[in-house]
Chain A
Amino acid sequence: MRTLFLNTKDLPDFLNNLSKEYSVYVPSKIKGKGLPCDFGFKLPTHDYLWEKLSAVKKEDLAFNDYRSIESLRAFFTRSKEKLVLSDNENKIAVFGVKACDLFCLKIQDFVFSGGEIKDPFYERRRASALLISGDCLSFKEACFCLALEINPYPGEGFDLNFSVLENGFVVDVGSDKGEEAIKASAALFAPATSQALAQREEKRNALARNLSGHLERHKIPSKDVLQEIVKAGYESDIWQAEAEKCVECGACNFVCGTCHCFLLAEDRFGNAHERVRLWDCCSYANFARVAGGANPLKLRYQRVRNRYLKKFDFFPENFAISACAGCGRCIEACPAKIDIRSVLRKLNEEKSLSAR
């Protein structure tokens, strides 16, 4: 991996050069919801949305402190799309991807690019996309990646990674595609000095320390026990209690970066029918229903539980990793304030109590 340095003032030029080959998406800052309580941490509440570079004013171009509201998967599977293969795939470059996003993409890759039959829609988009990630500079109240042993700075899975320093960026080149992408801007990049690397290290460690401090209060069980506690809690009353709050809006599913379930349907276009695919939600009552009416996920508590079993049991069994990156998007999106951190904590407490 090559590590370079880019001056802050040169970022717009680099992105403009990129936009000659790619449709470039950058995070734009928006106002977020306020926080009821953050234990005096004075955590930021603003948010980010990905927008086309052409829609963002040059002076508004900024490096995002943390992950955006939406997950990365919308770039690779659409919330609704016709299943007709096109010959030319639009090349996209996404700037401001975070470590949690890259982790989630591993799950999407496993689902859509894995198995005996690959998904050509996903594969084409994935192959033509350039991922430019960045270290987190801060975190939101809902962020808990570190509790799942995912660092708030990317280590793999990116084409380029940007780490912010006072006057510029340390840029890791993580792939051939990344190398290719900086060629047109070669003059803007210099080798990274050891001083810059040391600064980056310091920043990364400081952020991880802060985040650990924040997470202590949440008592999130260790990553190694998650599968065990979710399975052991199969008959727990926790699911019923959470289900009483759930309004089945599907927000947790839709904002989740590892959720991948989809519905195949026929949709009418003029006089013809075409096959479409829509993001689906295991929170919805008919998700598992079969013709004739049998429904293994008939009751809401079964569906709430299903979500945890899928993420913390199914994926570890089949792919050796949990399908949760700790991005906390589901926590922020839930109108009923169902909090995955506290569900896991309660399951863990129940398990420890019953072990006594």
Chain B
Amino acid sequence: MRKNPYQPVEADVEEIIAESPVIKTFALRPREEIPFATGQFIELSVDGIGEAPFTPSSDPNNKERIEITAMNVGSVTAGLHEIKKGQAVGIRGPYGKGYPLNEFKGKNILIVGGGVGLAPLRSLIFALLSQVNDYKKIYLRYGAKTPGDIIYKDQFSHWQEHIDIELSVDKGDSGWKGRVGVVTMLLENFKEDLNNTVSIVCGPPVMMKFATLKLRELGFPPENIYLSMEKNMSCGLGKCGHCRVGKYYVCKDGPVFNYAQLQGIPDIWD
């Protein structure tokens, strides 16, 4: 255990991949190993700006290289987007509870993602694909604002070998042949034994809300719906108080919750 839990480990920026006009993936090589379970998060710091929580988007089996996919929306991500290959950032963690893969074994898995919310889900997909025989069928339903906002475009064809994938965009363009509409539309015709299917949802709060309601409407039991909650996780240790949701701290009791844990708490989507 490190003596000062607030002190980050330095990590070198090894590669930067532009995913969309506002989203980049940063491949980081921490100078000390930071093994994480898929769904756990880290605190990433940019010198002189501060820290923000990110769930790695990379394969948890790769211990040397952690990838973070970040949309340029806040002060830390703005600083991060200015960073060049060869510079260093700080990493603390990992924190919290990740996806309970053991509970997913032998079940169908329905992954529902929205926008940059596909980042943590990509890490999950890597973890699932590394032991693909442990699970029944895997589905991915992903929605983005426009075709240009779809991230990890080059990986879908590879995933398609093992995953049933459907995409939608809120607004198409001349080249878009796929479906147009919100991602919940892709759930309409989902036919599987719901008691033997888990659904994992990650995206903007409003998308998570309507996806969860849709899944409930389809008949998913609340304990089979897993949500990656985004709150203002700052210390990651359950101490600084910013990420409280009901009786939980998202940083230590989450960020992955099942809906049965959250459904009695008012205003969880705000």
Residues of A within 8 A of B (CB): 83-85, 111-112, 115-120, 234, 260-266, 268, 273, 275, 277, 280, 282, 287-296, 298, 306, 310, 313-314, 317-318
Report yes or no: B50 in contact with A266, Cβ–Cβ below 8 A. Answer: yes
Tell me the minimal C-beta distance from A234 to chain B in angstroms: 6
Residue interface mask B84-105, A partner, CB < 8 A = 1: 0000000000000000000000
Residues of B within 8 A of A306 (CB): 244
A317 and B247 contact, Cβ closer than 8 Å, known pairs A115-B237, A120-B3, A266-B45: yes
Q: Please report the total number of B residues contacting A with Cβ < 8 Å.
A: 41
Q: Considering only CB atoms, which chain A residue lies closest to B5 in the complex?
A: A117
Q: A115 contacts B239, CB within 8 Å?
A: yes
A231 to B75, CA, bound (A): 35
| B175 contacts partner chain A, Cβ-Cβ < 8 Å | no
* B contact residues vs A (CB 8 Å cutoff): 1, 3-7, 45, 47-52, 71, 73-77, 204-205, 230-232, 234-235, 237-247, 252, 266-267, 270
**B6 — nearest CB in chain A belongs to which residue?**
A83
Known: A118-B5, A264-B6, A294-B270. 15 other contacts (CB 8 A): A116-B238, A120-B4, A261-B242, A262-B239, A263-B240, A264-B234, A264-B235, A266-B45, A266-B49, A268-B48, A275-B6, A280-B240, A280-B241, A288-B243, A310-B244
User: Would B6 and A290 count as touching, CB distance under 8 A?
Assistant: no
Given contacts A289-B232, A290-B231, contact A296 B270 (CB under 8 A): yes
Contact B239 A112 (CB under 8 A): yes
- Residues from chain B with a CB closer than 8 A to the CB of A318 are 247
A263-B240, A266-B50 known; A120-B235 Cβ under 8 A: no
In the bound complex, what is the Cα–Cα distance between A136 and B188 (angstroms)? 67
Contacts of A265 on B, CB cut-off 8 Å?
50
Q: How far is the CB of B264 from chain A (nearest CB, A)?
A: 10
Q: Which of A119, A273, A294, A295 is within 8 Å of B5, CB to CB? A: A119
Contact B241–A310 (Cβ < 8 Å): yes
Say yes or no: B75 contacts A260, CB within 8 Å.
Answer: no
Instruction: Give the distance in Å from the alpha carbon of A118 to the alpha carbon of B239 in the complex.
Output: 9
Chain B residues with CB under 8 Å of A295's CB are 270
Given the complex of chains A and B, what is the CA–CA distance between A303 and B67 in angstroms? Answer: 35
Q: In the complex, which residue of chain A has the Cβ closest to the Cβ of B52?
A: A291
The listed residue (A119, A234, A294, A296) touching B237 by CB distance below 8 A is A119
Give chain A residues whose Cβ lies under 8 Å from the Cβ of B77. 291
Q: Which residues of A contact B234 (CB under 8 A)?
A: 263-264
